[in-house]
Amino acid sequence: MILKSTFILGGASSGKSAFAEAMVKATNAPRVYIATSQAYDKEMQAKIASHRKSRGKGWRTIECPLGVSEALSDVAEGEVVLLDCATMWLNNQMFANNDIAQETENLLAAMAACKGRVVTVSNEVGMGIVPENALARQFRDAQGKLNQKLADAADLSVFVVAGLPLVLKGTLP
Amino acid sequence: MILKSTFILGGASSGKSAFAEAMVKATNAPRVYIATSQAYDKEMQAKIASHRKSRGKGWRTIECPLGVSEALSDVAEGEVVLLDCATMWLNNQMFANNDIAQETENLLAAMAACKGRVVTVSNEVGMGIVPENALARQFRDAQGKLNQKLADAADLSVFVVAGLPLVLKGTLP
Amino acid sequence: MILKSTFILGGASSGKSAFAEAMVKATNAPRVYIATSQAYDKEMQAKIASHRKSRGKGWRTIECPLGVSEALSDVAEGEVVLLDCATMWLNNQMFANNDIAQETENLLAAMAACKGRVVTVSNEVGMGIVPENALARQFRDAQGKLNQKLADAADLSVFVVAGLPLVLKGTLP
């Protein structure tokens, strides 16, 4: 079975990226890594280095904090994309003051039109106490809505908890 | 199968209300909406308006920030109630300095005695880092305990993640 | 079926401890309680007292904020251990400025070598918004990684939500 689109959701340090990487590697297809994080401080640099080490070699890497939709249109048939992650993409869009509804529509259209398969990683951020910071509340609201749309559009949606999968929709390969 | 009581739990912007609304509408029974939110600021006004728009027409609406137990005793046989949500109800009870244990007991008794079916929506708030604010810690503790009781009392309990259901107990209709 | 090692994960006030206690009691084996919490303030004293009341009598209790690995080596064949919880243990290790990677390795080795069965309780803390506090971010990262390792090492891993189990791995007895 070939899945067109997979959605992997999880909390911080839940093992969601490693789970998604293993899934992409298991396809034995040429793989593309769409990296959305920017190394703007040491904490983020360390995180990016750790993710790079974990996923190993053999990836065509595209760094794009914002232009994910454009990057997806360059993916070739037979390639499998790991988009890691929708949370950082959303964060970058909000920081750039872009129209989130429009960008989300573009992203979903680009995923549907992508010639390769796409595995998208995203964060669950809505299961804590209401943040005191208004921007944080706005972000978790936008992230929750984006996650609903990504999960709805995917053939397979998985919630990763402590490195292990809870299938929300579809069947694990 | 007619469920007496359903419990729908989810994070912020997880699609829990939409999921619960769809479940109530699918019964084709006369429906009652028990609204616990108060429009005390613009953010909440926008949220209430968005929820109202999403659930559409055809609801008998009862606004009750505190008196949910009384409202449930007025529900007629054959009606299906959407109580949205237990989190705001708990918040209002704590703000009013009411006895939470007593109010919870009253609520559970009113649900059991209700002539109609009840679908209750609530928030998962305990999966983030420990809040620095003591009141926030107290709230998440009370919410967690209330969720356990509501889940225990229900025939069907569902954890909604990214708009999709993980069944905790019972069987989806 | 006798499980060597069980991992119970849940949010704050999710009923994870009660779930784990019930599981240990159901074995009818002599039971050991490894308590990692320290009563350093009134809030924690109240929590400890409440947990003690909830689990009832009939436990051999070992208080060890740090030395869990040593305590596990004293467990006799046939005994069942409830380790509650890995979160407080991690917190104590970080507070003591110990090497978390080394301590985690020791803990996992001690669990594997333990003559009795071990049920470990831990907290999910990574599903809220990114904490503003750097130490809190560091803690949730360490907790997430520890949870992945504990879940991986266990025969049975369960995510408790509103008091009810979602099985991540293995089969409930």
Interface predicted TM-score (ipTM) of this complex, two decimals: 0.94
CB–CB contact B14 A144 (8 Å): yes
Residue in C51, C138, C140, C164 to test binding to B, most B beta-carbons within 10 Å: C164
Side chain identity, residue C141: D
**CA–CA gap between residue C132 and residue B37 (Å, rounded):** 28
Of all residues in chain A, the one with the smallest CA distance to B47 is A141
Residue in C140, C148, C150 to test binding to A, most A beta-carbons within 10 Å: C148
Side chain identity, residue A140: R
Which residues of C sit within 8 Å Cβ distance of A? 7, 9, 11, 124-130, 132, 134, 137, 140-145, 147-148, 150-152, 157, 159, 166, 168-169
The answer, yes or no, to whether the previous bond of C85 is cis (omega within 30 of 0) is yes
Residue A132 inside a domain? The answer is yes
Residue B15 inside a domain? The answer is yes
Range of the domain at B149: 5-166
Alpha helices in A36-158 (DSSP H): 42-55, 68-73, 86-95, 100-113, 134-153
In this structure, the dihedral spanned by the alpha carbons of residues C20, C24, B155 and B65, taken in order and rounded to 10 degrees, is -40
**CA–CA–CA angle B29, B34, B37 (5° rounding):** 150
8 A C-beta contact, residue A137 and residue A121? no
Residue A171 inside a domain? The answer is no
CA nearest neighbour of A5 among A20, A17, A16: A20
- Render pLDDT for B76-87 as a digit per residue (tens, 0 to 9): 999 999 999 999
Provide the number of structural domains found in chain B: 1
Neighbours of B164 (CB within 10 A): 25
Q: Catalytic residue numbers of A?
A: 51
Residue B105 inside a domain? The answer is yes
| CATH value at residue A103 | 3.40.50.300
Residue B173 inside a domain? The answer is no
Of all residues in chain B, the one with the smallest CA distance to A136 is B12
What does the pLDDT read at residue B3? Answer: 65
Average pLDDT, chain B: 94
**CA–CA gap between residue C36 and residue C91 (Å, rounded):** 10
In order, the DSSP letters of A51-70 are HHHHH-S-EEEEE-SS-HHH
> Which of B125, B143, B151 is nearest residue C163 as measured by Cβ atoms?
B151
Distance from CA of B18 to the nearest CA of C (A): 20
Residue B171 inside a domain? The answer is no
- Render pLDDT for A54-107 as a digit per residue (tens, 0 to 9): 888 899 999 999 999 999 999 999 999 999 999 999 999 999 999 999 999 999
- Tens of pLDDT along chain C (173 residues) come to 456 899 999 999 999 999 999 999 999 999 999 999 887 788 888 888 888 888 888 999 999 999 999 999 999 999 999 999 999 999 999 999 999 999 999 999 999 999 999 999 999 999 999 999 999 999 999 999 999 999 999 999 999 999 999 999 999 98
Average pLDDT of each block of 10 consecutive residues along chain B (173 residues)? 83 97 95 90 82 84 94 96 97 96 97 96 97 95 98 97 98 93
Distance from CA of A83 to the nearest CA of B (A): 18
Residue A172 inside a domain? The answer is no
What does the pLDDT read at residue C54? Answer: 80
* 3-class secondary structure, A79: coil
8 A C-beta contact, residue C92 and residue C36? yes
Phi-psi domain of A97 (left: phi exceeds 0; alpha: psi -120 through 50; beta: other):
left
CB-based contacts of C22, cutoff 8 Å, min separation 6? none
CB–CB contact B129 A128 (8 Å): yes
> Which of A9, A141, A159 is nearest residue B12 as measured by Cβ atoms?
A141
CA–CA distances in Å: residue C150 to residues A141, A144, C109: 31, 28, 11
Q: Side-chain half-sphere of B42: how many Cα atoms within 13 Å?
A: 1
CB–CB contact B151 C129 (8 Å): no
Residue C172 inside a domain? The answer is no
Residues of A with Cβ-Cβ distance to C144 under 8 angstroms: 11-15, 162
Instruction: Describe chain A by its helix, strand, coil percentages, rounded to 5.
Output: 45, 25, 35
**CA–CA gap between residue A10 and residue C126 (Å, rounded):** 8
8 A C-beta contact, residue A73 and residue A47? no
CA nearest neighbour of A143 among C114, B123, B163, C159: B163
Q: Which two tokens stand for residue C52?
A: 């003690």
Residues of B with Cβ-Cβ distance to A144 under 8 angstroms: 11-15, 162
C11 in a labelled binding site: yes
> Which of A13, A14, A164 is nearest residue C157 as measured by Cβ atoms?
A164
**CA–CA gap between residue A94 and residue C82 (Å, rounded):** 45
Which residue is it, tokens 């069947």?
A: A171
Residue A1, pLDDT > 50, answer no
Which residue is it, tokens 């109609």?
A: B116
